[in-house]
Structure 1
Amino acid sequence: MPLPAAPDRKPNVPARRLAASLLKANNELLIKGILCVLIGLGVLVSPYFITSPGMQNIVAKSSLVGWFALVLGCAFVGLYARRRMTAPAKP
């Protein structure tokens, strides 16, 4: 009697799926944080490089949005760092 064929798919292990979903969520959090930091810095620094006085005033008045994006991005990056530091070590 011959042996059955080898499986062609990986076993469906719930722990492995959970670890993969957490890793994906952490990476998305880091990407969101970096993008928010870049947007915030762009809004805060851009008035110094705009030559038109009218446009410079418009962008300078939106500095509150830039600070909010910068703080939110730093919070996302900090949360990512905290999750990475508290994550259990891989065996």
Structure 2
Amino acid sequence: MKFVAGLLLGFGLGFAAGLLFAPQSGEATRAQLTEQGLLLRDRSLGLSQELRQRANEALSQGREIYERTKEELSERYSKAKSGQL
């Protein structure tokens, strides 16, 4: 029982201290959090677009390398099969 009373007292004192020493009003804090949330959203959208573009470029490069390697191996196989190697 003493623990619960101490817990409630500590919570009450912490809440009161937070209200007394808060650097700005709750409305200003909510406005700031909203603004920061919007900035974070915009950054994440830009980052996701950049990552998507980089992934597409890497995929395109991978396909080019695959095609070149496939052609080279086909040529080598054909030459080896015909005894030209």
- Which one has a bigger Cα radius of gyration? 2
> Shorter-chain TM-score category?
0.3 to 0.5
| Bigger RCO (CA 8 Å, 6+ sep) | 1
Q: Which structure has more helix as a fraction of its residues?
A: 2
TM (norm. structure 1) is: 0.43
- Normalised to the residue count of structure 2, the TM-score between the two structures is 0.45
